[in-house]
A and B are shown apart, each in its own frame.
Chain A
Amino acid sequence: MSLTVDSVSKKFGRFPALNGASFVAPQGGFVSLLGPSGSGKTTLLRILGGLEFADSGSVRFADLNWLDMPARTRNAGFVFQQYALFKHMTVADNIAFGLRVRPRRTRPSKAAITDRVKQLLDLVQLPGLEARYPSQLSGGQRQRVAVARALAIEPRMLLLDEPFGALDAKVRKELRSDLRRIHDHTGVTTVFVTHDQEEAFAVADLVAVMKDGRIEQYGAPADVRRNPRTAFVSEFLTA
């Protein structure tokens, strides 16, 4: 049940954002896509989430042809850099959203939804904030709600797009270790995008260093650090 990304490519107009990216991650793994802006990491993540379509290549996960499925059916939780919380809904309604839009057959009862929201808020360490609105929360709190909302649907895969980019250093550190803790607790396959190598190396099991739409090197943090395969990788890691 591993995640197999095979030669995925995508062009925007004439600009090749992704140029044959490939990697394999075990189920429950924690992968970081690391690279400078323009390296294609966000494009790859969005393709995994169903928000963009690949021009060529394939992705297999959980025995499914991932790219054949629309975003709605993939059950891939996505956390955006700017959180994308529903500002007109309370925290509880935000988190419950994914459960409430399910067709009647698979929709949990109201009581079950309320319980789940409470559990998730506890998990992201925001107990009791059900009735707040996003505008009343700090950046770090909003990000936690975004994570809780993505986890509510019991996703097969958790995708995070520079989730801590808009936050200050101290909050970033807290959230990153929380993210690791949540991952270990839930066991969900996680892919997260960052341009911050310290962050990638601190948190991920596997790091993919990207440049110009390709993965230059892929492996465990320690391996990549010790044996950089290209000049770009070694420069990027020491910068």
Chain B
Amino acid sequence: MKATFRKPTEDPIWLKALLGALAVGFIAILLLLPLVLVFKEALAHGLSAFWAAMVEPDSLAAVRLSLTAAAIAVPLNTLFGISAAWSIAKFDFPGKTFLVTLIDLPFSVSPVVSGLIYVLVFGAQGWFGPRLADYNIHILFALPGIVLATIFVTFPFVARELIPLMMDQGRDEEEAAATLGASGFSTFLRVTLPNIKWGLLYGVLLCNARALGEFGAVSVVSGHIRGVTNTMPLHVELLYNNYDYVGAFAVAALLAMLGLVTLALKSLLEWRYADELAAMHRH
């Protein structure tokens, strides 16, 4: 038996070991360690302390606020995403590419800037702020402002899942339905929706995760009123700055679990519905 060499496209063992160690080490130290720390600190004084921190009234208020904001922002953004994808994928019109690029804008803008713009419109020195205050309508430092900021930072998610997906799927089926006399809504519900359901779910999942976790934009518009206008991430900040580490990490652990569940569902969707979602990787 002659000597066996490695295939020419394989790296030598020492290189594999080195690169593998670097990769795993970097990921473990940079990414995993912080995650582990969150849970360790949350449970540092035992499960009962963790639970007490969770059911503390201000924490519950923060959870309620986060959920409310998400419950408004996510459906609205889903509606937007469907609407945008329908118009872009099923029709041709000038400026379409520009529109698609514009939809991605919130992703490249700093979250603080995303909040800043609403302060400039609705704040005390803003365009509409003083006038609305006359009618006792407060956008900033209240739920509406928080919802607006959340909507801004999360509205691309559903749209950018659906646009390439629906573009990839073409118009044939919808056109067939049209020739058979179906109305727009009917066509959408019966023909389009079943085809896009996994992409839609994926987009909604990511949108929701970001909506619950957003910090920078909401921080600017919120006013940080404890127990009233603090979402979960803002409450974490408040507790941490007040040296209530168990409290801060308890709420943080809840958010981290949300993140992990999102990751798991995301992986599951990617794995099972790779084909339907393949369009998003190609664009």
Contacts and interface: CB of A to CB of B under 8 A. Distances in A.
Would A and B touch once assembled, by the CB under 8 A criterion? yes
Interface of A: 50-53, 56, 58, 65, 67-68, 70-72
Nearest to B1: A56
B8 interface: yes
Contacts of A65: 2
A74 to B, nearest CB: 10
A75 to B, nearest CB: 14
18 contacts: A50-B8, A51-B7, A51-B8, A51-B9, A52-B7, A53-B4, A53-B5, A53-B7, A56-B1, A58-B2, A65-B2, A67-B2, A68-B2, A68-B3, A70-B5, A70-B8, A71-B8, A72-B8
Contacts of B2: 58, 65, 67-68
A119 to B, nearest CB: 27
A218 B5 CA distance: 30
Contacts of A68: 2-3
Interface residues of B, number: 8
Contacts of A70: 5, 8
Contacts of B7: 51-53
Chain B contact residues, majority secondary structure: loop
Nearest to B5: A70
B12 to A, nearest CB: 12
Interface in B1-42: 1-5, 7-9
Chain A contact residues, majority secondary structure: mixed
Nearest to B2: A68
Contacts of B3: 68
A64 to B, nearest CB: 12
Interface string B65-79: 000000000000000
Interface of B: 1-5, 7-9
Nearest to A67: B2
Contacts of B1: 56
Contacts of B9: 51
Contacts of B8: 50-51, 70-72
Contacts of A58: 2
B55 to A, nearest CB: 56
A58 B8 CA distance: 19
A70 B2 CA distance: 12
A56 B1 CA distance: 7
Contacts of A67: 2
Rank and list the top 9 A-B pairs by shortest CB-CB distance, nearest first. A71-B8, A70-B5, A68-B2, A67-B2, A53-B4, A68-B3, A51-B8, A65-B2, A50-B8
A15 B166 CA distance: 41
Contacts of A56: 1
A45 to B, nearest CB: 15
Contacts of A53: 4-5, 7
A22 B7 CA distance: 23
Nearest to B3: A68
A56 B2 CA distance: 9
A50 B5 CA distance: 9
A68 B5 CA distance: 8
Nearest to A57: B2
A208 to B, nearest CB: 23
A142 B129 CA distance: 66
A52 B4 CA distance: 10
Given A53-B7, A68-B3, 7 more contacts: A51-B7, A51-B9, A52-B7, A56-B1, A58-B2, A65-B2, A67-B2
Nearest to B8: A71
B7 to A, nearest CB: 7
From A56, A58, A67, A72, name the one whose CB has the most chain B CB atoms within 10 angstroms.
Answer: A67
A53 to B, nearest CB: 5
A7 B8 CA distance: 23
